[in-house]
Amino acid sequence: MKNNLTATSVSILSTLILGSSISPPADGAPLVTLPTSDSWYGSYVNVQDYVTSYLSNISPQAHLITDLTGRNQSTWRVAAASVQGSFPSMIIGTYHSSRDSETAAVRAVSFPPRAVPLEGLQSSQILYVSGNEYVVDYSQPAARTYLVNNILLNVLNTQLPIAFIDNVSSDEMGFPIPWSTTMGLISDIVARLHAQGVRVIIDAAWAPGLTSQQNVDALISSGVDGVSLEMAFLDPGVRHSITAIQTAISQYRQMLDAGLTVIFISGPGSDPSDTGDVEDHLQAAFGLMFRKPGDKLFIAQSYWQPIPDWTGWPARLGAPNGNAVITTDAHGEIVITRQFANGSVSLNTTSRAVTVP
């Protein structure tokens, strides 16, 4: 397998292993081709350097890690080189907040930097403080320029082909800066990173089905390559309303039809005993209700656990036969069903029961 390294992988590995000086990619560098989920439904989000202890849980069919962080530059180098060496076709990205600044002491505990330096900002340019994060008021032109320039510096210094930009917050969810201003910031970051050969996937803090159509349109128009969502199908306002489910499916199809990579990040639900596995299955099944062959739709998977069965569903089920059907059962619970070439998939949004052939 190691004899099949691409030129990009060799370039990244030589920098990581040899510790040579890191320089930004050249203007006009080609953008990496992001995978579809036809053969593999999972991706890895927010990966830590201890992923090297769990490489046996990663399938050779997996092709996307949106970020990889180390406790320091040395452990990051080792982890990135180990993953890339074992999985030459894996696309690895770097993480960065879209809005946060941190003190030098906080920034020193992980690599690459996850936020811009606080020391270059004035107190009047800080919107509010959340834990160790000082949220930058990027509605101010000077603060925005500082934020963008330092995000680019941190991202390009990793020489990785994807930037996973977190904390893209919406005023619909209570954030004090208008979504239009936030999308202007993202559009600027995307344009400048694209010029350097780096794709951008953002984490958006809103739930399709509840968010406005205007916000979805603005996201697509920003030029981003993808979006991850922590409220993909978790909000009860979506999963217990047929109208909201239909709206969510329509909005997801818009993003996918525009060529975006969409990643569902699930986790424990309302049941205290839920480890997240139940929600993973439910969200993976929900994605199948609107997924088409060739889509870049993924469910975030854990690398410290055995490979989940849903990662192989699209390949096993084959092409869909028509659209999903949304009904209510005898108990008034919403059931979504869709036929595929190799069987029928259904999910109950209340019990979270999933049936897959």
Q: Over 90: is that where the pLDDT of 243 sits?
A: yes
What band does 20 get if pLDDT is binned at 50, 70 and 90? very low
What band does 55 get if pLDDT is binned at 50, 70 and 90? very high
Mean pLDDT of the chain: 90
Q: Give the pLDDT of residue 29.
A: 77
Q: Give the pLDDT of residue 7.
A: 40
| Mean pLDDT of all residues in 47-70 | 95
Tokens coding 320: 């869909």
Instruction: Count Cβ neighbours within 10 Å for each residue of 193-222 and write b for 16 or more, e otherwise.
Output: bbebbbbbbbbbbbbbbbbeeebbebbbeb
What band does 138 get if pLDDT is binned at 50, 70 and 90? very high
Strands of 162-169's sheet, edge to edge?
42-43, 297-300, 261-264, 226-229, 199-205, 162-169, 91-97, 64-65
| Mean pLDDT of all residues in 322-335 | 97
Helices (H) and strands (E) in the chain, counts: 10, 18
Q: Give the pLDDT of residue 60.
A: 93
Q: Give the pLDDT of residue 341.
A: 97
For the chain, the domains span: 2-95+160-318
This prediction's pTM? 0.90
Residue 129: alpha-carbon gap to chain centroid: 25
| Residue range 2-95+160-318 in CATH 3.20.20 | yes
3-state SS, residue 86: helix
Between 28-32, 261-265, 286-290, the lowest mean confidence (pLDDT) is in 28-32
Q: Give the pLDDT of residue 119.
A: 97
